[in-house]
Amino acid sequence: MHNAYSDALDTVLRDCCTPAAVRAVERGDDHQPLWQALQDSGFADCLLPEDAGGAGLPLDELAPVLFTLGRHAVPLPLGQTLFARALLHAAGLAVPPEPIALASFDSGADTAPVPGGAQAAWFLVQEDTRCVLLPRAQAQASATGVHADLAVSLPRPARDGLPAFTLPAGALRQTGACLHAAQLAGAMSHVFEMTLQYANDRQQFGRAIGKFQAIQHQISIMAEHVTAARMAAQIACAAGGWRPDPLRAAIGKLNASEAVTPVAAIAHAVHGAIGITEEYDLQLYTRRLHAWRLADGSETYWGRVVGELVCGLAGPGVVDTVRGWSTDAA
Amino acid sequence: MTSLLSTFQLTALPPAAAAFRREVKAFLAEHLPELPPEKRARSWMGFNAGFSRALAGRGWVGITLPAQYGGAGLDPFSRFVLVEELLACGAPVSAHWIADRQSGPLILRYGSDEQKAFYLPRICKGEAFFCIGMSEPNSGSDLASVATRAVPEPDGGWRLNGRKIWTTNADRCHYMLALVRTSGNAEDRQRGLSQVIVDLSAPGVTVRPIHDMAGDAHFSEVSFEDVMLPAQALVGREGSGWEQVNAELAFERSGPERLYSSVVLLDTWIAALRRVPEARRDTVTIGRLVARLAVLRAMSLAVTARLAAGESPVVEAALVKDLGTEFEQSIPALAEAALGADPQLAADPGLYRTLAYVSQVAPSYSLRGGTREILRGMIARGLGLR
């Protein structure tokens, strides 16, 4: 999953978003240099129309960009910010230059975990059909208490006096689902490559552990799940413009989340004890896998959404239903 | 090394294939026999020669074969559509299934002009049903160990001796396309194997149907005792059977039939859920299955696009088959849990019978066409681990 845009981003990230830089941001070091580099790359504006200084990217061309963010375990909410900017611009509101996280209060809960919120200067918050842009100073966001976590816990905000606009109910969560599906596929692809490489390098019983059939089959299973997640990411990002299609975002996030448990488990099983150390890079990616599985709805959340829809239909068979959601010509 | 992962590109069915679907749906509305769900659940194991000939009447048996032989000359995308529609409604397609999917394309690719002129029109008319002779009593996953032997005769023909087993529909087919040893011996492994067409009405052929645990007899043991084959029974080159069989497996493993084996059960289950109170519907499980199907279908279509481009995506097909059969097997496993949890669901007789049938045959999904372990070995090789 790459195109000219993601190749350019990859070059930027190789330079400025090294594992050491990721660790530094997770430790709480100043993230401004990294954000400035990302800001300078222009990707935060890539969904904006060209006459607003953006690239007017459609979602399917954005997919490899999001995938690349996941591949590098980028510790700042660039994916969220680029969608937030497009939404703010479409609503005719001013676009701030700092990182923005996305928060949805659609479940009746009084606090929401906000992925990527730890370094966000703003929260774009949706409740029912109403969106507000909440500055961090007013947000009362608190740390989750999880080591090196990039999420924060956000209480339901008072909305008075904030810049506001309307979106269809659930749209922000669908957007988050879409971007996390693609980022999951990217992170999983990197985890897979690390695992394959390790299996070829690590010697035990006088040969590479990848020569043992038990390991080979585990890695084959991993390849299957990662391939499915990559297809899920493409489905999540299949849409006419830059706004995700609600059902395809659901299907994509569900399947990408579904792959997390086997992929992370096999990666760690193959790596052995070194894989769970701080010094080895695998943890940078597998911690993301678990965080992003939860982010904007796990497979259980989206399973309920899809299942209620299917059970509420009058009667077409599942094959016709699934085909109706696909990108096939009518 | 990891290029395997990047070959799966989201592919939309082209407009022509999408338009073809309307024709298929119209045909099925008229010709699909009225069958209860537990019969429809047999689908590509359900034998109905009349239905197959009605399909043949539309040119849809040998759908990818050229028009000069009576085929529809359609591309793999159209075949995907036809297969998808047939399986979605549980049409009894087993009579012509193998000839359409494998034997016809194989004869077209490797057969002589004489073989093509003889077999292909018969396949397209639904008059020549084929079975595949690969497994033997002592040769399962280790296919290169086949011991059935065709010995050259002075007249250029072959004398065939040996046994094949688990041969689907051998008792109802006209021909077997068999993998046999024509030269060398067991130590030569893949070398010296060839594919031959055996007329199953020939003297010396004995077919003994085998009953399965669901009460059906869809497969057989086939014995050959001094069966005399003409010279033109050999398909392709002598000794090239192994590579020919492997090319055939890309067709066998990649299609929607590796996703839809238990789709009739899923539809029957959902229909029953629609009749129970909303609060008792396990919508999470249904949603996960349906969304899973959406991704697997997209993966199967991505492999179809490679076939349409003239490639032979053998490893990709293995990957989709392993994931697909896992999905197919998860449906009865989850439905069994659901029916056991809700007496009202279990009281639906059609659902109950369909579930029992699918649960019983589901182990075969990951045996036929290559076991899980064989497929995972192929994927590992594709990743450079072997």
DSSP code string of A30-90: --HHHHHHHHHHTGGGTTS-GGGTS----HHHHHHHHHHHHHTT-SS-HHHHHHHHHHHHH
Look at strands A142-143 and A152-155 and give their pairing: antiparallel
> At residue A329, does pLDDT exceed 70?
no
Over residues B2-29, mean pLDDT: 92
Residue B249 included in any domain: no
Percent of chain B with pLDDT over 70: 99
B224 and B184 housed in the same domain:
yes
Q: Which residue in the set B10, B283, B291 is minimally distant from A234, CB to CB? A: B10
Residue B250 included in any domain: no
A-B Cβ pairs (cutoff 8 Å, strict): 179
* Of B305, B249, B218, residue with least CA distance to B101: B249
Q: With cut-offs at 50, 70 and 90, classify the pLDDT of residue B256.
A: confident
Residue that finishes a domain, picked among B239, B264, B281: B239
* Of B237, B261, B207, residue with least CA distance to B84: B261
> At residue B257, does pLDDT exceed 90?
no
pLDDT at B276: 93
For chain B, give the mean pLDDT.
94
Contact A311 B89 (CB under 8 A): no
Over residues B291-307, mean pLDDT: 95
Nearest CA-CA distance, residue A178 and chain B, Å: 14
Phi and psi angles of residue A282, each rounded to the nearest 5 degrees, phi first = -55, -40
Q: What residue type is assigned to position B94 of the chain?
A: S
Chain B residue whose CA is closest to A253: B291
CB within 8 A of A205, min separation 6: which ones?
Answer: A212
Question: Can you give the residue range of the structural domain that contains B208?
Answer: 131-239
Chain B residue whose CA is closest to A189: B5
Residue B270 included in any domain: yes
For chain A, give the mean pLDDT.
96
Percent of chain A with pLDDT over 70: 99
Residue B215 included in any domain: yes
Over residues B294-316, mean pLDDT: 92
Least confident range from B129-143, B230-244, B304-318: namely B304-318
B69 and B157 housed in the same domain:
no
Domain containing residue A219: CATH number: 1.20.140.10
B112 and B140 housed in the same domain:
no
Q: How many CA atoms lie within 13 A of A182 on its CB side?
A: 30
Phi and psi angles of residue A131, each rounded to the nearest 5 degrees, phi first = -115, 140
Is residue B278 a contact partner of residue B106, using CB atoms and an 8 Å limit?
no
ipTM > 0.90 for the complex:
yes
Contact A306 B290 (CB under 8 A): yes
pLDDT at B130: 97
DSSP code string of B278-337: GGG--HHHHHHHHHHHHHHHHHHHHHHHHHHTT---HHHHHHHHHHHHHHHHHHHHHHHH
Q: With cut-offs at 50, 70 and 90, classify the pLDDT of residue B49.
A: very high
B7 and B106 housed in the same domain:
yes
Residue A234 included in any domain: yes
DSSP 3-state assignment of A324? helix
> At residue B305, does pLDDT exceed 50?
yes
Contact A210 B385 (CB under 8 A): yes
pLDDT at B1: 43
pLDDT tens for residues A1-46? 899 999 999 999 999 999 999 999 999 999 999 999 999 999 999 9
Q: Is the CB of residue B282 less than 8 Å away from at least one CB of chain A?
A: yes
> At residue A95, does pLDDT exceed 80?
yes
Best of B85, B288, B315, B322 to substitute, by most chain A Cβ atoms within 10 angstroms, is B288
Over residues B76-83, mean pLDDT: 94
> At residue B139, does pLDDT exceed 80?
yes
B266 and B368 housed in the same domain:
yes
Q: Is the CB of residue A330 less than 8 Å away from at least one CB of chain B?
A: yes
Contact B295 A235 (CB under 8 A): yes
B122 and B156 housed in the same domain:
no
pLDDT tens for residues A146-195? 999 999 999 999 888 999 999 999 999 999 999 999 999 999 999 999 99
Residue A189 included in any domain: yes
* Of B198, B166, B195, B192, residue with least CA distance to B179: B195
* Of B85, B5, B125, B1, residue with least CA distance to A226: B5
B172 and B233 housed in the same domain:
yes
Q: Using an 8 Å CB-CB cutoff, list chain A residues near B295.
A: 228, 231-232, 235, 251, 255
Question: Can you give the residue range of the structural domain that contains A193?
Answer: 171-325
pLDDT tens for residues B311-366? 888 899 999 999 999 999 999 999 999 999 999 999 999 999 999 999 999 999 99
Q: Which residue in the set B5, B88, B323 is minimally distant from A189, CB to CB? A: B5
Paired tokens of A132: 């507000």
Domain containing residue B52: CATH number: 1.10.540.10
Look at strands A100-104 and A122-127 and give their pairing: parallel
Residue A255 included in any domain: yes
Domain containing residue B297: CATH number: 1.20.140.10
pLDDT at A92: 97
Residue that finishes a domain, picked among B128, B163, B195: B128
Residue that finishes a domain, picked among B109, B128, B147: B128
Q: With cut-offs at 50, 70 and 90, classify the pLDDT of residue B2.
A: low
Q: Using an 8 Å CB-CB cutoff, list chain B residues near A257.
A: none
Q: With cut-offs at 50, 70 and 90, classify the pLDDT of residue A106.
A: confident
> At residue A330, does pLDDT exceed 70?
no
Residue B248 included in any domain: no
Residue B245 included in any domain: no
pTM of this structure: 0.96
> At residue B251, does pLDDT exceed 80?
no
Residue A2 included in any domain: no
B38 and B84 housed in the same domain:
yes
Q: How many domains does chain B have?
A: 3
Look at strands A207-208 and A203-204 and give their pairing: antiparallel
Q: How many domains does chain A have?
A: 1
* Of A232, A245, A247, A246, residue with least CA distance to A292: A232
Q: Is the CB of residue B53 less than 8 Å away from at least one CB of chain A?
A: no
- The A residues from 304 to 323 touching B (CB cutoff 8 Å) are 304-311, 315, 317-323
Residue B349 included in any domain: yes
